């Protein structure tokens, strides 16, 4: 009985993987927490370092900026404290009617702040690299 030929391998596997929801990935960047990368099994670290070295060799001539990574989560505007509001360009003050009013960076009122989500800075829930190794969760049994 003839079998169907295997599907051709993708020519864009990184895009394929990162175009779906992936932790640490945005539209333009991939963030790998150093504490987790350094906690990977030795063979994984060796492969990872080889890939990073190849990336830096191939694109080392580009004018790479320094990056500031800020741990953030999508939060409701009404759940943010003053510091978080300021970090994302919003303020909350009492309006003329005595109700709390949220305003954006252009000083425009936010129509429905209770359902308005923003990417806000949060405390990093992942261990810092100085905390030592982070054991991975065990693999599911076969």
| Per-residue pLDDT at 51 | 96
Torsion angle in degrees (nearest 10) through CA of 98, 107, 91, 93: -10
Count of Cβ atoms closer than 10 Å to residue 127 Cβ: 14
Distance CA 115, CA 37 (A): 36
Residue 39 within any structural domain of the chain: yes
Q: 142, 134, 113: which is closest to 33 by C-alpha?
A: 134
Distance CA 33, CA 65 (A): 18
User: Do 45 and 17 belong together in one domain?
Assistant: yes
List the domain range (segments joined by +) for residue 28.
13-67
User: Do 19 and 61 belong together in one domain?
Assistant: yes
If you average pLDDT over residues 17-28, what whole number do you get? 91
User: Do 78 and 38 belong together in one domain?
Assistant: no
Distance CA 66, CA 81 (A): 28
If you average pLDDT over residues 47-62, what whole number do you get? 96
In degrees and rounded to multiples of 5, residue 88 shows phi and psi of: -105, 10
Residue 129 within any structural domain of the chain: no
Distance CA 55, CA 48 (A): 11
| Per-residue pLDDT at 67 | 93
Residue 5 within any structural domain of the chain: no
Q: How many residues does the chain have?
A: 142
pLDDT band at 130 (very low <50, low <70, confident <90, very high): confident
Q: What is the pLDDT of residues 93-124, one digit of tens each?
A: 998 888 899 999 999 999 999 999 999 999 99
Distance from the Cα of residue 71 to its chain's centroid: 7
Residue 128 within any structural domain of the chain: no
The structural domain count of the chain equals 2
């Amino acid at each position: 009985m003839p079998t169907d030929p295997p599907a051709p391998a993708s020519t864009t596997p990184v895009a394929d993987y990162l175009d779906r929801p992936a932790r640490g990935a945005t539209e333009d960047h991939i963030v790998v927490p150093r504490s987790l990368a350094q906690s990977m099994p030795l063979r994984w670290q060796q492969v990872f370092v080889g890939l990073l070295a190849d990336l830096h060799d191939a694109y080392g001539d580009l004018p790479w900026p320094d990056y500031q990574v800020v741990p953030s989560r999508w939060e409701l505007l009404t759940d943010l404290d003053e510091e978080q509001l300021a970090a994302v360009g919003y303020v909350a003050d009492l309006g003329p009617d005595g109700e709390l009013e949220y305003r954006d960076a252009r000083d425009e009122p936010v129509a429905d702040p209770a359902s308005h989500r923003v990417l806000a800075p949060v405390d990093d829930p992942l261990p810092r690299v100085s905390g030592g190794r982070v054991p991975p969760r065990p693999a599911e049994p076969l």
